[in-house]
Structure 1
Amino acid sequence: MKDSREQEWLSRFKQDLEKLEKPFEAKVPEQAHMIQVLQNFKTRRKRAFRRELIAFLITALFILTSYSVLAFKLTSIFIWMQGLLICGLPIMFIVEKKRRKKRDEVSDYEL
């Protein structure tokens, strides 16, 4: 009698454990899928690197131009450059924010 109860309890216990483990089984991705995800990541990273490099070069050229304008004492050109920068900066932030929203990225800044 006691042995049959233990067997019954053990079988129910095993069934309950299988029910608990079933939803948590992880699917192993295929190699082709992993390669495709890796290639997508590499292309996105390469585009981001190019975009950051271009932004860096533009910033460096702007700083160099600003110093050369100040060195030659062309204040009117310097004032125009600062005005264009002040007008262009919010536009750059808005464009970047739209691009990040389109890709569902988290941004470090909020407008």
Structure 2
Amino acid sequence: MDNHDKESDMLKVLKEDWENIDAIAGTPQITQHEIHEQLHSYKLKRKRAFRKELYLFILTAIFILGLFITIIFKSRETILFIQVCACLIGPVIYLFLTKREGKVRL
């Protein structure tokens, strides 16, 4: 019986110590509402980043198209060179950008 009393006393002391540690740590519990807010802000950031990249892409495409049209009227050989380079380099750039996101879709 004496051994059993010692064990129960030790368990009681350990339990009290554990509760004291929990009280000191004060681990804040994240509510489901806070998780949804964080998820919403993350999605909003991703959407803004996507729009920014899309606008940059469109502006670059318009600039390149204007440059390309100007070159068409001046030199046919340059146009052919640009088309070949675009056909070779375009897929490589696409693979690089999709791998950066972690998903490759072909």
When the two structures are superposed, what TM-score results if normalisation uses the length of structure 2? Answer: 0.59
Tell me the equivalent position of 1:38: 40
Q: Which amino acid aligns with 2:55?
A: L
Q: How far apart are 1:39 and its partner, in Å?
A: 0.6
Q: How far apart are 1:45 and its partner, in Å?
A: 0.7
Tell me the equivalent position of 1:52: 54
Q: What CA distance in whole angstroms lies between the structure 1 residues aligned with 2:43 and 2:93?
A: 25
- Listed as ranges, the gaps of 5+ residues in structure 2 are 1-30
Residue of structure 2 aligned with 1:67, choices 66, 69, 72 = 69
Matches within 5 A, 1:79-98: 79-98=80-99
Q: Which amino acid aligns with 2:78?
A: I
Secondary structure of 2:83's counterpart equals helix
Q: How far apart are 1:96 and its partner, in Å?
A: 3.1
**What is the root-mean-square deviation in Å for CA atoms of aligned residues?**
2.0
Give the percent of matched residue pairs that are identical in Structure 1 and Structure 2.
Answer: 11
Q: Which amino acid aligns with 1:67?
A: I
Q: Which amino acid aligns with 1:80?
A: F
Tell me the equivalent position of 1:78: 79
When the two structures are superposed, what TM-score results if normalisation uses the length of structure 1? Answer: 0.57
- Higher RCO (CA 8 Å, separation ≥ 6 residues): 1
Q: How far apart are 1:42 and its partner, in Å?
A: 0.6
Q: Name the count of aligned residue pairs.
A: 76
- Listed as ranges, the gaps of 5+ residues in structure 1 are 1-28
